[in-house]
Amino acid sequence: MTNINLISWNVNGIRAVARKGFLDWFSNTKPDILCLQEIKAHVEQLPRKLKHVEGYHSYFNPAERKGYSGVATYSALKPKETSITMGIDKFDHEGRFQRFDFDDFILLNVYWPNGGMGEDRLQFKLDFYDAFLDYTNNLRDAGNNLVICGDLNTAHKPIDIARPKENEKVSGFMPIEREWIDKFLANGYIDTFRMFNDKPEQYTWWSYRTRARDRNVGWRLDYFFVNEEFKSNVVDSYILSDVMGSDHCPIGLKIEI
C-alpha cells in the first residue's frame, strides 16, 4: 500500500502568497499533490519559480478574465490524463475546474462560485453545483473512485460557521446552498474532515476586514470529498489552520492505495 498526501488551498492570489513564503512552505511540507484555488493569474504572468517547481508536474487553468478565479495543481505523480473542462461554456471560461486521472482515482480540483454578488451569481453558483453533481455521478457510474477538493464557498452546518444565526441570509450559509450539500452527500459522497473531527470552531476562512482570524470567527468553506466506495482508503483529513498567507488556510487529506 502507498500513502498519498494531498493539500488543497485557496491562496487568494498565487503571486500574493508567493511573496509571503509560499514556496518555502511548499518545499518544507512536500505534499504529493497540491491543489490551489483562486490563483488570480494567467500563466504568462507567473515567474518561472511558480511555473516550474522541482519534483512536480505543474498544471494551470486560469480564468479568461485577468486577476480572477483560476485553479492550479502541482503533482509529484504523473496523471494518465488531464482535463480543464466540465463541458459547459459558461462555467469553463471562469477557470474553476481541473481533472486528473490516476490509476486508482480521479482527482477534481474545484473552485466553486461565490454567490454573494447578487441573485444572478447565486443562481450561477447553484447551476454550477447541479452541473458538478451530474458530472461526478457520471464518473462514478463508470466505475471511478473520486477525490474532490477545493473551496466550496458554502459552510454546511451551524457547526461549520462561527455565527450561524447572523448569516442565514448571507450567501455561503443560505438554506438553499446548504441543502445542495445535503443532496451531494446523499448521493454518496463523504465530507472527509467530519470522519475524523466532530468539534466546533474548525474553520478554513476568516474575513480580512474584521481581523476575524485573531478571534477565530470563521467559516469552514474548504473540503475534501470522496465517494463512499473510496471511504476506506482515507487515512486522515485535517485543517492546517496555522498556515498563513491567505484569508483561507490549507486543508489536507491522506489516502492509502
Evaluate whether 95 touches 63 at the Cβ level (below 8 Å): yes
Count of CB atoms within 10 A of residue 127's CB? Answer: 14
166 is in an annotated binding site: no
Evaluate whether 200 touches 163 at the Cβ level (below 8 Å): no
Closest by Cα among 67, 115, 69 to 92: 69
* Structural Rg of the chain based on CA atoms: 17
248 annotated active-site:
yes
Closest by Cα among 108, 105, 102 to 85: 108
- Taking the chain (257 residues) in runs of 10, the rounded mean pLDDT of each run is 98 98 98 98 97 98 96 98 96 97 98 93 98 98 98 98 97 98 98 98 95 97 98 98 98 98
168 is in an annotated binding site: no
Q: What is the pLDDT of residue 116?
A: 87
Count of CB atoms within 10 A of residue 77's CB? Answer: 15
Domain total of the chain: 1
57 annotated active-site:
no
Evaluate whether 253 touches 234 at the Cβ level (below 8 Å): yes
Count of CB atoms within 10 A of residue 50's CB? Answer: 22
5 is in an annotated binding site: no
247 is in an annotated binding site: yes
Domain span at residue 91?
Answer: 3-256
Q: Which of 129, 156, 222, 248 is catalytic?
A: 248
Q: Which of 56, 74, 129, 151 is catalytic?
A: 151
Q: What is the pLDDT of residue 33?
A: 99
User: What is the domain-level CATH number for residue 181?
Assistant: 3.60.10.10
Q: Which of 56, 74, 111, 189 is catalytic?
A: 111
Q: Is the pTM of this model over 0.95?
A: yes
229 is in an annotated binding site: no
189 annotated active-site:
no
